[in-house]
Amino acid sequence: MLQAYFPVFLLLLFGVGFAVFTMLLSHFIGKKKPTPVKLSPYECGIKPIGTARIQFFVKFYLIALLFLLFDMETIFILIWAVAFHDKSIQVFALIEMVVFITILLVGYAYVWRKGALKWR
């Protein structure tokens, strides 16, 4: 049974080996002349002003995480819709989706009630 995975393992080994080989080759062959221009942060061709460390509001991260959460749930619903055509699991799949949507709505109501979706 493990013989069937040998080509996959060989391809993975080749890919990792090639990546390591090219990084080591560029490290040993490449020229290293650090200058102030090369060491400065790049900001779309504009000279950087001030420090690179900026404080962001936690609200940005919270909104991004909520977006990812609801986006992943949408993907799950689309996959479920494709698999729903199978006659042998339709009742179980329907019950499963009702439970999933209920949990999703409870989470959405919790987030809304806590005020995480309000942009102040």
Which of the two residues, 57 and 14, has the higher pLDDT score? 14
Q: What's the whole-number mean pLDDT along residues 15-31?
A: 94
Choice between 53 and 28, residue whose per-residue pLDDT is larger: 28
Average pLDDT estimate for 47-75: 79
- Which tens digits make up the pLDDT trace of 30-51? 888 888 877 777 767 666 677 7
- CA 75 distance to own-chain centroid: 13
pLDDT at 64 exceeding the cut of 70: yes
Average pLDDT on 1-28 reads: 93
Q: How many residues does the chain have?
A: 120
Q: d(Cα 27, Cα 72) in Å, to the nearest integer?
A: 39
What pLDDT, on a 0 to 100 scale, did the predictor assign at position 52?
66
Q: Is the pTM of this model over 0.85?
A: no
3-state DSSP assignment of residue 43: strand
